[in-house]
Amino acid sequence: MRKIILLATILLITGTVSAQTYLNSDRYDLSSGTEPTVAFTASAAMTNTTGGANFNTSGLAGFNAGFAFDLPISNSLSIAPEILYAQKGYNANTQFGNLTQHSQYIDIPVLAKFKAGSQISLYAGPQISYFVSSSNSFSAGFTESQQQNYATTGNSLLLQGVIGLGINVTHKVELRARYAVDMQGRYTNGNNIVPSYRNQAVQLGFGFRLG
Give the contacts of 3 (CB within 8 A, at least 6 positions apart). Answer: none
Sign, Cα dihedral of 42, 40, 130, 181: positive
pLDDT in tens, 125-163: 999 999 999 899 998 888 888 888 777 667 789 999 999
pLDDT of residue 46: 97
Q: Using 50, 70 and 90 to split pLDDT, how confident is the model at 25?
A: very low
Q: Strand pairing partners for 81?
A: 110
CA separation for the pair 199, 89 (Å, rounded):
8
pTM over 0.75: yes
Q: Which residues of 20-49 are buried (b: 16+ CB within 10 A; e: fewer)?
A: eebbeeeeeebeebeeebebebbbebbbbb
Do residues 200 and 48 make contact, with C-beta atoms less than 8 angstroms apart?
A: yes
pLDDT of residue 22: 42
Residue range 96-123: average pLDDT?
93
Can you list the domains of the chain with their CATH numbers?
2-210 (2.40.160.20)
Q: Using 50, 70 and 90 to split pLDDT, how confident is the model at 24?
A: very low
**With left for phi above 0 and alpha for psi between -120 and 50, is residue 178 left, alpha or beta?**
beta
Please state the separation of Cα 101 from the chain's center in Å: 17
| 6: helix, strand or coil | helix
pLDDT of residue 51: 67
| 16: helix, strand or coil | helix
If you average pLDDT over every residue of the chain, what do you get? 83
Percent of residues, the chain, with pLDDT higher than 90? 55
For the chain, the distance separating the N- and C-terminal CA atoms, rounded to the nearest angstrom, is 36
Residue 22, amino acid = Y
